[in-house]
Amino acid sequence: MTTRIKIETLHALAFNKLQQAGYPETIAKQVADVLVHADSHGVHSHGVIRVEHYCHRLSQGGMNPDPTMTIEKISSSVAILDGDDGMGHCALIKATEEAITIAKEHAVGFVSIKNTSHCGALSYFAQMAADQGLISISMTQTDTCVAPFGGAEAFWGTNPIAFGFPVENGNPVIIDMATSATAFGKLLHAKETGQSISLGLAIDKDGVETTDPHAATTLLPFGFHKGSGIAMAIDALTGMLMGANFSNHIVRMYDDYDKMRKLASLMIVIDPSKFGGHSFSNMMAQMVSELHQVKPAPGFDKVLAPNEPQTAYLEDCQRNGVPVTTSIYQYLTNH
């Protein structure tokens, strides 16, 4: 069962719950911003379903509620942000702001992030850059829950990556995806809503593919060896670049609640105006327009660009409210 809730109301509920748990007002607001962005764009696996976890981890000592984040400039275009073991959402917001500032002056802003935690949907940070006419590439490591290609047990995290591109007079093209065949949070959502999952997404304790989210213990990589290889590259560009943990060495999200997770991420922002006199966003608009003109395959009404389904979902939520499962709504409203 789900309940439709106005976007503003859902934000207030998440904000209040986080603040009651001990997160300062600014932190709680930023986290609620990212979570409600995910829910209102149809990415419920990264939405307010996570509030309870963030509150529990804080209560157990595995989160710094009020971090002092610092930025170390390595060169004119490269910086390192130390998240001081605080909320990953806030660290990525600050890193994105820094990367935007650098890119506007030096064409490219490269900001590595260390000592942080789960940051939510990367699309939020891609939107931040795209809103200012900038390109972005972001990625983050996660704890192990994905079998490597050919393996029957977990080794990689879902290790998501996102790309954002501004589009003139239109919504940005945002590609936000896990390197697993599905996000782990979607398993949580399937359990929460009583749904099954498709074959090819996860395996059980014996290494056999399953459609039962309750039996699933390990996700599979997308595209077989391709997703497995990209997951490895992301661990190298985040955790290993920062001298942090990787793979099975990362503190688990749903375990070891008293330990800081020490995750690493990366945000790269590019100012396309620095690369010649052409209008990048205008060319992106042309690309999207021509993509729409491609003959659709049977069963499809139209070929869509990445982020268009999410934008349509947002418009529906703005009109009718965000669907929230009854159990999540009860948690958020229980004082």
Q: Which residues are catalytic?
A: 118
Q: Which helix (H) or strand (E) holds 185?
A: helix 184-193
Provide the angle, in degrees to the nearest 10, between the axes of the packed helices 7-21 and 25-40.
140
Please report, as a single letter, which amino acid is at residue 317.
C
Residue pair 16/2 in contact (Cβ under 8 Å)? The answer is no
Q: Report CA-CA distances (Å) from 160 to 99, 173, 218, 244.
A: 19, 17, 16, 17
Helix/strand/coil for 324: strand
Total length of the chain = 335
Residue pair 118/263 in contact (Cβ under 8 Å)? The answer is yes
- Looking up tokens 């006199």 gives 277
